[in-house]
Amino acid sequence: MVAIASGIDSVFVRVISGTPTPSERSSMATSSGDEVRRTPYHALVYSQLSLPVTPFVDPPSGQPTQWAGDPLLGGETFFVHWGKYGEYLASYLEGEKGAAMMEARLFEALPRNLSAILSGEFGDESVPTRTWFHSDAPELSELPWELVAFANGNRARKGASFVRGVPPDAGTPLVPVVGRLRLGIVDPKGRASSAFKQAMTNFGDRLEVVPLSGGVRSALRQAADQGLELVHMVAGASVTSSYDGVIEIPGGDEPPLAASEVVGLLRGSRVRLIGLTPPAEDPATISVGGYAMPVAYRAFTYFATSPQPVPTIVAPLGPMDDGQVIDFWTFFYGNLGETLEIEGAMARAQSQRIAAVALFLRQLQPATFKRVSEIEQPETDPSIVGADLASSRELVQQFENLKASLGVKTPSLDKFVKGERKRQSKLEADVSEWIEGVEER
């Protein structure tokens, strides 16, 4: 049995690295005998829907034929000319030629079927559609695929979502909310742009904005202690040699913040979403092809795709002018405060002024929060119970892996696992009433 979102048509596009065929390798050679760096990738498409995708004669070796309950329909091969990558991505990030050129380069790389799937040219408008996108090749993740997803207006018109990540195995407990959602702002050095500050004053009574003091770690602890539901960090970022994204505060003395530390600070808290924006005049830039390229944009991708159980993340994958900053964050957070649905808020924000802002989703169901009265508040917050349950499942899985690797009977280990599974049943019963919008297939 697998968990799926109720009432949502799901598509999962998973990209893996490919190996060029002899004919493709031959076509990649120039007249001088040099090989152009055109790297092949395979996009594997999983869904219950009928989609325009090339079926496999022989599925790629070692790849699952089902994912999250959906069958592998087929796949599309595409090539990225990395020799041009530095030039056009730097142009895009620097804003010299804007998003239109970057969008055109992405469409050039994609076959027609994959373009149609990513841009939402399918599905019944009466049923919500969600497209998950994930790349096993880290270098491909940082490209702004949202420019393709929202290019022709199909998703905005249908209210269909495009999210980054892998469908989780289980539902996430809803967070009970009395009154307004609260958004904590983490900006230790006061580096938020004037446009972002203006957006934070546009919510009226739809959302409560809470400034958090001290350093970034102190601010995140405050968010957890105060029971805030949302956090927005004004921060820089960088990428380690192992493709890990780390959060940095330019001009600050604190060491970089890894995803694992964010998990440690927020796990079991009510925080369900982290918004990220680079600080104004971010000095953390690198030079590519003569362009000054802000590191934060691409590094946010690696931070958000960490295997650590960080909350859902919303982060820009390219520059936004002042108008885009004001429009996007005003509509996103304002709509979220009204509807309590992250994907719907993203669709509303994208329908106003297109920007390459990515939603790294960590949940199955569309709703994240649930309005309750004071007397409906549970004694123990479902977030705490859910975190305890998830930790127990992770621990049991580690012990099961250890048992399999030892290959011998371990009575004491078996006794512990049995007791932990019994405890899990109790936790599942306690949290079940707060898991809505999910069914099993």
Tell me the C-alpha distance between 342 and 251, whole Å: 32
What is the per-residue pLDDT across 127-143, written as a single tens digit (0 to 9) for each?
889 999 999 998 888 88
Of residues 81 and 259, more confidence is placed in: 259
| Structural tokens at position 153 | 């207006």
Residue 358: its pLDDT value, please?
94
The three-class DSSP label of residue 207 is strand
Of the listed ranges 165-179, 346-360, 396-410, 426-440, the one predicted with least confidence: 396-410
Give CA torsion, residues 333, 356, 63, 71, to 10 deg: 60
pLDDT attached to residue 354: 66
User: What pairs with residue 370 in β-bridges?
Assistant: 176
Task: Of 105-114, 230-239, 357-366, 393-402, give the lowest mean pLDDT range.
Answer: 393-402
Judge residue 297's burial from the number of C-beta atoms within 10 Å of its C-beta, 0-12 exposed, 13-18 middle, 19 or more buried. Answer: buried
Q: Which residues are CB-contacts of 70 (< 8 A; sequence separation ≥ 6)?
A: 10, 11, 12, 46, 47, 48
pLDDT at 295 over 80: no
Say what the pLDDT of residue 2 is: 83
Q: Is it the case that residue 183 has pLDDT exceeding 60?
A: yes
Whole-number pLDDT of residue 438: 87
pLDDT attached to residue 127: 83
pLDDT of 35 higher than 60:
no
CB 61 within 8 A of CB 75: no
Is the four-CA dihedral 293, 138, 315, 129 of positive or negative sign?
positive
- Tell me, what DSSP letter sits at residue 408? S
pLDDT band for position 29 (cuts 50, 70, 90): very low
Binned at pLDDT 50, 70 and 90, residue 28 comes out as: very low
Architecture of domain 175-367: 3-Layer(aba) Sandwich (3.40)
Cα separation, 42 vs 15, in Å, equals 6
Q: Tell me what the mean pLDDT of segment 311-328 comes to.
A: 91
Residue entry with tokens 């996108």? 133
Which segment of 82-96, 184-198, 296-310 scores lowest on mean pLDDT?
Answer: 82-96
Task: Calculate mean pLDDT across residues 56-68.
Answer: 84
Gap between the terminal Cα atoms of the chain: 5
Which phi and psi (to 5°) does residue 86 adopt?
-60, -40
pLDDT band at 280 (very low <50, low <70, confident <90, very high): confident
- Whether 20 shows a pLDDT value over 70: the answer reads no
**Quick one: pLDDT at residue 290?**
59
pLDDT score of 434:
92
Q: Which amino acid is at 172?
A: T
Where does the pLDDT of residue 32 fall: very low under 50, low under 70, confident under 90, or very high at 90 and above?
A: very low
The full set of domain ranges for the chain reads 3-21+36-164, 175-367, 381-440
Q: What is the pLDDT of residues 206-246, one digit of tens each?
A: 999 999 999 999 999 999 999 999 999 999 888 888 888 89
For residue 319, which of 283, 280, 290 has the smallest C-alpha distance?
280
3-class state of residue 404 by DSSP: helix
Per-residue pLDDT of 115-126, as tens digits, reads: 999 998 887 777
- What percent of the chain clears pLDDT 70, i.e. is strictly above it? 91
Residue 353 pLDDT > 70: no
pLDDT at position 186, please?
95
